[in-house]
Chain A
Amino acid sequence: MPMNSSDLAEQSIVLQVVIGFLYPFMLLLGFYVILNGHYTPGGGFQGGSVLATLLVARYVVSPREDINSEELHRYQRIFLALILVAPAVVLFPGFLHSYPRIRPLYLTVMDLLIGVQVGFGVGVAVLRFAFFEGTGKTWRL
């Protein structure tokens, strides 16, 4: 079962304070890796994984099941559709070839889309497994 409020009071205060302190830095690192993607190898996938650790950290501090993973999955699908549409509109018809000015913009936007999509996707996966494990009834299946 997800923990109730009396269990939450027994959570380590050290963990809560440290993760609360690190939270904005994790967000910052994730978006830094994503937006720096075309200067470094990769970018989108790695940054998305860093963003997904936000959800993991939140689960470690308060394992309550109040994040709707359906909602996260819907956002992931929207971003995935954009990932499929953007190259089909911009890259494959050859606009990048004719307009060299939009090349860096295209790279940044694609990195951002891939990063957010991977962040939502890995987040859904982690939460799903975490609460499946957290119920403690897996052996009955």
Chain B
Amino acid sequence: MRYFLSALLVLTVFAGVTAVGTLHQEQLEPSIFLYITSFFERDTAAHNAIAAILLNYRMYDTMFEALILLTAIIGMKQFLPTSKELRDADE
């Protein structure tokens, strides 16, 4: 019964969120899209809009993306034993 109720809750929330999402779709003016595709070469001297967005318009995104890699490596160093530790534990 509990499993049934929790499954029902999950399905209800999913249906509700989907319904709200589909009923209240707003079409915004694509002003940023138009601006970037028209002026990225003048603004940033990049020859590709994606490179311009990554390195100029959305630089914070790239910075924190680089930090994610550092976080992953720190987690790996914390939780994976080195082969020396494995050898010591073996002896």
User: Would A43 and B80 count as touching, CB distance under 8 A?
Assistant: no
User: Would B89 and A76 count as touching, CB distance under 8 A?
Assistant: no
**Cβ-Cβ contact count across A and B, 8 Å cutoff:** 101
User: Would A128 and B77 count as touching, CB distance under 8 A?
Assistant: yes
- Contact mask B61-91 → A, CB, 8 Å, 1/0? 0110111011011001100111100110110
Q: What are the residues of chain B within 8 A of A140 when measuring CB–CB?
A: 86, 89-90
Residue of A at shortest CB range from B72? A125
Residue of A at shortest CB range from B47? A39
- Cβ-neighbour of A39 out of B48, B69, B90 (below 8 A): B48
A12 at the B interface (CB under 8 A): no
- Contact segment of B5-13, B18-26, B29-37, B51-59: B51-59
User: Would A91 and B59 count as touching, CB distance under 8 A?
Assistant: yes
A104 touching B73 in the complex, CB below 8 Å, given contacts A41-B51, A87-B63: no
- Contact mask A33-50 → B, CB, 8 Å, 1/0? 000011111111100000
User: Would A107 and B63 count as touching, CB distance under 8 A?
Assistant: no
Residues in B lying within 8 Å of A, measured CB to CB: 44-48, 50-52, 54-56, 59, 62-63, 65-67, 69-70, 72-73, 76-77, 80-83, 86-87, 89-90
Residues in A lying within 8 Å of B, measured CB to CB: 1-2, 37-45, 65, 73, 76-77, 80, 83-84, 87, 91-92, 96, 100, 103-104, 106-107, 110-111, 114, 117-118, 121-122, 124-125, 128-129, 131-132, 134-135, 137, 140-141
